[in-house]
Amino acid sequence: MKGKILVVIKLIVLIVSLALIITGQKTVGKPELGLMLFGLAGLLGLLYDYNRK
């Protein structure tokens, strides 16, 4: 049960991170850069968690 919950949480983080990157890429500016950096941080966090094992 715990493993399934973690998979769902990771999937939600992936979708949110990709959404932040895609929405931040549509226009140019500092707020959009911040959105893309938060999205990148989410993806890097998922990658770290995947490779940690």
**Secondary element (H or E) of residue 39:** helix 30-52
Rounded distance between C-alpha atoms, residue 10 and residue 16, angstroms: 10
Nearest-angstrom CA–CA distance, 17 and 5: 18
Q: What is the mean pLDDT of each run of 10 residues along the chain (53 residues)?
A: 92 96 90 94 96 86
Q: What is the pLDDT of residue 53?
A: 74
What does R_g of the chain's alpha carbons equal in angstroms? 13
Q: Provide the 3-class DSSP secondary structure of residue 53.
A: coil
pLDDT at position 24, please?
A: 92
* pLDDT, position 1: 81
